[in-house]
Structure 1
Amino acid sequence: MPTPAPRRVRATAAAMDLLRRLRAAHGPLMLHQSGGCCDGSAPMCYPAGEFIVGDRDILLGLLDLRLRTGELPDSEPNPEDLAPVWISGPQFVAWEHTQLVLDMVPGRGSGFSLESPEGYRFLSRGRVFDTDELAALTAVEVITGAAFELGDRPAPADEPQVVGEAIDACPVPGTRPGAG
């Protein structure tokens, strides 16, 4: 049986809780994985539409803010329940072998990102896809900003989107029983 394609983006329960609070305060959201400059390489959170997605930006996934740890969706979400996660095309080339795990930690992030005044900042963690996962991803269409504008959306995934903690998606060998 072939390996199913993994999600390109997942989030911790804490990051999803913060996203839900931000959505309650600011309305629908979007995220963009920054490639550097004044905000480093931080994931940036904006009100939906306030960051211009380029035609060649890549959609990593749609975070379904209704979901909790380990859940899979049981119905179609409303558009305001989805927070698209984008990355620039050149940055995607550097990250395409990696699953991005959106986490949050105490501290002050960039002044441009919505969570900045909350006393927390979003943080990208990564897990390198194994050989079978990479092979499965070759069959998955990469959605660009231009294709998204034309209505392309990612296919549903069988893998839960929300993990309890980052280590649940990015295990460190030898840190948990059974970890190898």
Structure 2
Amino acid sequence: MTTEAPRVELTPAAVELLRKLRAAHGPLMFHQSGGCCDGSAPMCYPEGEFRTGDSDVLLASLAVDGVAEPIGFWMSKSQYEVWAHTRLIVDVVEGRGGGFSLEAPEGVRFLIRSRMLGT
């Protein structure tokens, strides 16, 4: 029996930041769009603040130790078509992103690293 790798993973730095953001803002969600503004950066919002719909795909409900509820990771369908064969790894790097993501005031930003599925 083989175990399928998760579609979305979190680095230890991302987990630490998500715990901090959860304590300050309540339940969280991610959305990654295919748009021109930060299209390759996952944006973190209070859960439900970004409205998802038929043009979005829920890739994962991420369990984070120390966070009561899973964190949904959504992606636009158009972006998903490009990344469908990829495992996404949510990481944190220094610097400010150009969007409304909750981590912006912290002087860091979420970033996607990726691996082809099966590797």
TM-score, shorter chain, exceeding 0.5: yes
Report the secondary structure of 2:72's partner residue: strand
User: What are the residue-to-residue correspondences of 1:7-156 with 2, within 5 Å?
Assistant: 7-66=6-65, 80-130=68-118
SS at match of 1:20: helix
RMSD: 1.7
Q: Distance in 2 between matches of 1:46 and 1:20?
A: 13
Cα distance in 1 between the residues matched to 2:41 and 2:99: 12
**Structure with the bigger percentage of strand:** 2
Distance in 2 (CA, whole Å) between partners of 1:56 and 1:36 is: 13
State the shift of 1:35 in Å.
1.7
Deviation at 1:4, TM superposition (A): 2.4
Secondary structure of 1:16's counterpart equals helix
The alignment partner of 2:97 has SS state of coil
Instruction: Answer yes or no: is the 8 Å Cα contact 1:59–1:87 preserved in 2.
Output: yes
Higher helix share: 1
- The separation in 1 between residues aligned to 2:35 and 2:78, in whole angstroms, is 12
* In structure 2, C-alpha distance between the alignment counterparts of 1:31 and 1:109, rounded to whole Å: 14
- Determine the C-alpha separation between the residues in 1 that align with 2:83 and 2:92: 19
Say if 1:36 and 1:42, in contact at 8 Å, map to a contact too. Answer: no
TM-score for the superposition, normalised by structure 1: 0.62
> Normalized against structure 2, the TM-score is what?
0.91
Tell me the amino acid that sits aligned with residue 112 of structure 1: F
Query: Over residues 117-171 of structure 1, what are the superposed CA-to-partner deviations in whole Å (9 max), with x where a residue is unaligned?
Result: 00100000000012xx8xxxxxxxxxxxxxxxxxxxxxxxxxxxxxxxxxxxxxx
Q: Residues 40-98 of structure 1: CA distance to partner in whole angstroms, max 9, x if unpaired? A: 4210000000000112311111111217xxxxxxxxxx8x4211001011111111100
Is the CA contact (8 Å cut-off) linking 2:57 and 2:77 kept in structure 1? Answer: yes
- 2:37 match: secondary structure: helix
Give the conservation status (yes or no) of the 8 Å contact 1:66–1:81. no
Query: Which of structures 1 and 2 has the bigger CA Rg?
Result: 1
Q: Distance in 2 between matches of 1:41 and 1:129?
A: 18
